Structure 1
Amino acid sequence: MKSYRSFIPKSAAYFPVKDALPPRDIHFVLLPRFTMLALSSAIEPLRVANQLSQHELYRWHTVADTPAAASSCGVELNVQSSLNGLQTAGQLFVCSGTDPRNAASERTMQALRRISRMGGKIGALCTGAFTLARMGLLRDRRFTLHWENQASFREVYPDLQSSERIFEIDGPLLTCGGGHAATDMMLALITADYGKAFAQAVGDMCLHGVPRPPETPQKTSFAFAHNARNRHVTAAIEIMQRDLESPLCLDEIARECGCSRRQLERQFKKLLRTPPAKYHRNLRLDFAHSLLIETNMQLLDVAVAAGFTSRTQFSRCFSERFGTPPSKIGTPPCAGNPTNRETKQ
């Protein structure tokens, strides 16, 4: 009996494919707390391609080093095969999600290194780039990961520069930011295999619409999100986001934006109902929060990375924003993670 991986359902819609290639096997390595949205967004275009063509163009396989993998939403999936027994040298994607830095166990890392030595093409969905960086696969490569995790990624791997695009294809290396960007990346793969018209038909069946090009940014612009056309406020926020570690004073930001400090304060209060200094501080505190969640950095190092010169001031501001001191955020000290954030003064 055929498994659901290769089952080709009957369909009212049909798109003939001439000269179908041998079935292409794609393996998805599920790490703890992987994101279900990214996984399903990657697999469904493959299923739809089979359905539309009535050919087994693609086969997909879920693998892990455990019998089941828990997603970030708590749903567990039984995997179809063990990563340790995988002998393929084909296409493989590391699927990660929350808490990605050490999501891959040492056993998983050993298996992935073995597959890489065999010539396997290893890519990543969502935050899987953390695992690829641990393997040394990203140096001098174009790659991306989810925008929420890029700041902490830069702190852990300062020599690696991720892009802010929805997906990247750099030779055999395919990475995407997760979510529906996984569909766009798979549609690009289908385009390379069977042409633009067929990929567009797959996108229409997924109700995805026109496939987005890789250079599409992951986040909507501030102006679009807030329906704002104030160039001074937009420029100021871009400067604030650019200089989290070495923040400029408000006078310097206003000068770069081509307005006075008082003008900028009035425009922020009118548009965002908050003073620009507070908005800037909150950006830095949110950045610090992500570092505490995703890294083992000491409190003082986190404070400095977020542009605070005093740990006391940082702790006070952090507690005001989040209702809890920064020392209570993140993974507690344990075996394999012995860092005590309070030890380094």
Structure 2
Amino acid sequence: MSAFNQGAQAQSRVPQSIGFLLLDNFTLISLASAVEPLRMANHLSGRELYRWFTLSQDGRAISASDGLQITPDAGLADTPALDAVIVCGGVDIQHSVSREHVQWLQAQGRQGRQLGGVCTGSWALAKAGLLDGYECSVHWECLAAMQEAYPRAAVTTRLFSIDRTRSTASGGTAPMDMMLHLIAREHGRELAAAISEMFIYERIRNEQDHQRVPLKHMLGTNQPKLQEIVALMEANLEEPIDLDELACYVDVSRRQLERLFQKYLHCSPSRYYLKLRLIRARQLLKQTALSIIEVASVCGFVSTPHFSKCYREYFGIPPRDERAGQHSANVVALVPMAEELMRPSSSSAMAALSRAQGESSFASVRL
């Protein structure tokens, strides 16, 4: 049973009604990414599976972060009957959530509504106490602040999180992935795949995928040398640069280089470099038709057996199974590590690193 499905509804084919609560300066792309799969689900199925309504606090027009205005279908005082509510957040979320929003959301929770948020919409749910004990996703710009403000919410760097009656997604197109997963659970994978094809959406990402949080966001502007080193690593994955050369390029000693990585990234430079290469390999395995041998070569591995060994140790699954779409239950992502980087004083960063050898969520890895 999915987060937005009550089972009996699906049996009787009663359309699910979803309200999209728009906050000031919401991001239009996140709203569209969440609504359009519902429209296409109705179109391709030939029947009304979903109904949706836009809501604002007072029912008046509300502006998106790009300046476009949306005239909502209703205000909070006269909302239609709903099965689910999704909060659409955006810029300056800390000042966009009013007491009225919080009270209304709490009332929806008491009435058993399914609740969700896109972009920074999770902040509103957390402020209302509706994410306590739930895993949730939020746009990376808001991630550290939300962890600090609402420690009872299990904030992750996942693109989206579906945890019981809560479904939350980060910004951009991530809400589309979340909605496609919900549609697949309710009405079958074939329909979700057909929607993806209609939108020329090459791959429906899953809950194992994480946001790529820019390193500069994690470190601020205080470590230009470290940022420069990481940029060099990212630009030279096929032919890795020797660490002594890297240190020379940015005018630091090898010892200084080691200290920078240990202090701010909680791992050695060689470990970090290997992780970048393996992340690139994972993207190529999932998104291209390159053979495993070719992927190994492109990512700087001297032999396929060595690549396979490193890949399995890192992700808990061999490259062949990754290509086939099989996911090991033992895969542990680097989310704890990424989150701990935003809390430099935490003593659990190294413990998180020792628990996991998963994927990058704090480096900007480009194809």
Q: Tell me the TM-score normalized by structure 1.
A: 0.61
| Cα separation, partners in 2 of 1:156 and 1:225, compared to 1, 3 Å | farther
The alpha-carbon deviation at position 210 of structure 1 amounts to 2.6
Instruction: Return 72-81 or 47-56, whichever deviates more.
Output: 47-56
CA distance in 2, matches of 1:225, 1:194: 44
Q: Given the alignment, which residue of 56, 63, 66 partners 2:55? A: 63
Tell me the CA shift for residue 220 of structure 1: 7.6
Identity %: 32
How much does 1:178 deviate? 1.9
Q: Contact (CA 8 Å) 1:87, 1:115: kept in 2 or not?
A: no
- Conserved 8 A contact 2:84-2:113: yes
Give the equivalent residue in structure 2 for 1:41: 33
Deviates more, 1:38-47 or 1:211-220: 211-220
Q: Does 1:228 align with 2:236?
A: yes
Supply the AA of the counterpart residue of 2:118: L
- Within the candidate set 106, 128, 131, 1:135 is matched to 128
Distance in 2 (alpha carbons) for counterparts of 1:211 and 1:225: 28
How many angstroms apart in 2 are the aligned matches of 1:84 and 1:97?
23
Q: How many residues align?
A: 233
> Per-residue deviation at 1:65?
1.1
The 1:112–1:258 alpha-carbon spacing in structure 2 relative to 1, beyond 3 Å, is closer
Counterpart amino acid of residue 28 in structure 2: M
Match of 2:81 among 88, 93, 97: 88
Question: What are the Cα deviations for residues 182-221 of structure 1, in whole angstroms up to 9, with x where unaligned?
Answer: 1101101110111111110011111112311111111189
Runs ≥4 in structure 1, deviation > 4 angstroms? Answer: 220-225, 230-233
Q: Secondary structure at the match of 2:20?
A: strand
CA apart distance, 1:227: 3.3
Per-residue Cα deviation, 1:253-296 (whole angstroms, up to 9, x for no partner): 3565267xxxxxxxxxxxxxxxxxxxxxxxxxxxxxxxxxxxxx
Q: Against the structure 1 CA distance between its residues 120 and 172, is the aligned structure 2 distance closer, same or farther, given a 3 Å change threshold?
A: same
Which residue is 1:54 aligned to? 46
The answer to whether the 8 Å contact 2:106/2:130 transfers is: no
Match status 1:179 vs 2:187? no
Deviation at 1:21, TM superposition (A): 1.8
The residue aligned with 2:142 is: 149
Code of the residue aligned with 1:210 in structure 2: it is: R
Distance of 1:26 and 1:161 partners within structure 2: 24
Residue number in structure 2 paired with 1:209: 202
- Residue 27 of structure 1 and its aligned partner are, at CA, apart by 0.7
Distance 1:25 1:87, change over 3 A: closer
Change (3 A) 1:232 1:136: farther
Q: Which aligned pairs between 1:155-304 and structure 2 lie closer than 5 A?
A: 155-219=148-212, 226-229=234-237, 230=240, 252-253=259-260, 256-257=267-268
On the 8 A contact 1:29/1:92 being kept in 2, the answer is yes
Q: 1:231 to 1:96 in 2, by over 3 A?
A: farther
| CA–CA separation in structure 1 for the residues paired with 2:125 and 2:33 | 21
- C-alpha separation in 2, matches of 1:232 and 1:172: 49
Distance 2:20 2:233 in 1: 33
> What is aligned with 1:7?
none
Cα distance in 2 for partners of 1:165, 1:224 equals: 26
Within the candidate set 125, 137, 148, 2:118 is matched to: 125
Q: Sort the Cα spacing of 1:151 and 1:101 in 2 relative to 1 into closer, same or farther, 3 A.
A: same
**Structure 1 residues 142-151 or 100-109, which shifts more?**
100-109
Preserved CA contact (<8 Å) 1:27 1:60: yes
> TM-score when scaled to structure 2?
0.57
Q: Is the 8 A contact 1:23 1:57 kept in 2?
A: yes
User: 2:233, 2:31 → 1: CA distance?
Assistant: 27
How far residue 179 of structure 1 moved from its aligned partner, in angstroms, is 1.2
CA distance in 1 between partners of 2:14 and 2:152 (Å): 39
SS at match of 2:62: strand
Query: Contact conserved, 1:34 with 1:95, CA < 8 A, in 2?
Result: yes
Deviation at residue 110 of structure 1 after TM alignment = 1.7
Q: CA deviation at 1:97?
A: 0.4
Conserved in 1, the CA contact under 8 Å of 2:56 and 2:75?
Answer: yes
Task: Spell out, residue by residue over 1:5-29, the C-alpha distance to the aligned partner (whole angstroms, 9 max, x if none).
Answer: xxxxxxxxxxxxx978211111100
Q: Residues 181 and 254 (structure 1 numbering): CA distance in 2 closer, same or farther, change over 3 Å?
A: closer
Contact 1:84 1:108 in 2 (8 A): no
Aligned mates of 1:154, 1:178 — CA distance in 2: 17
1:114 and 2:121 equivalent?
no
Task: Return the alpha-carbon distance in structure 1 between the equivalents of residues 130 and 232 of structure 2.
Answer: 36
Do the aligned partners of residues 151 and 52 (structure 1) sit closer, same or farther apart at CA in structure 2, a change above 3 Å counting?
Answer: same
Residue 228 of structure 1, CA deviation: 3.1
Unpaired runs of 5+ residues, structure 1, are 1-17, 237-248, 260-304, 308-345
Distance in 2 separating the partners of 1:60 and 1:224? 47
